[in-house]
Amino acid sequence: MYRWTVAQVLRYVYGKAIAGDDSVMMKATAADVRFRFPGSSSFAASLTGREPLRAWLARFTAFSPRFEVRDVAVSGPPWNMTVALRFHDAIGADYENDGVEWLRIRWGRVRSVEVFLDTERVSSWESRHAGLGGAAAVAGR
């Protein structure tokens, strides 16, 4: 039941954020949240803080991605929880990717997020869409 509840909350929060309403996600993140997206694309980032994360998320959602949380694994009590979230995302007709996000959550606040996905797919998609804005478009990179 615990895992199911956490999964439902995450699906709701991610759904709102992808739809352009990041208010719930920002309330659920610690002020000093750490976010890491690997690779060499303009999405690659190692950020600390809500505002840099909000800027990164705003850029990502500007592309109207489809983002589906597929599986959620939860470990630990609410005061020191680890969550692995398996996802599928797509943008337009020529980008799809599967990945995992590793979250550390303490008392309902996300402390860190690490994204693991095929970064070559991201870079390849960017190379096909030259007008996306470069690495400078991602705050805090």
Evaluate if residue 138 carries a pLDDT over 90.
no
What is the residue-averaged pLDDT of the chain? 91
Residue 91 has pLDDT above 90, yes or no: yes
Residue 109 pLDDT more than 70?
yes
What is the fold, at CATH topology level, of the domain defined by 2-132? Nuclear Transport Factor 2; Chain: A, (3.10.450)
On the question of pLDDT at 136 being above 50, the answer is no
- C-alpha distances out from residue 100 to 70, 73, 129, Å: 10, 11, 25
pLDDT average, residue stretch 17-34: 96
pLDDT value of position 133: 58
- pLDDT higher than 60, residue 141: no
**For the chain, what are the domain ranges?**
2-132
Residue 42: name the closest of 126, 112, 129 by CA.
126
Least confident of 49-58, 66-75, 98-107, 122-131: 122-131
- Across 75-88, average pLDDT: 96
116-133 residue pLDDT tens: 999 999 999 999 987 765
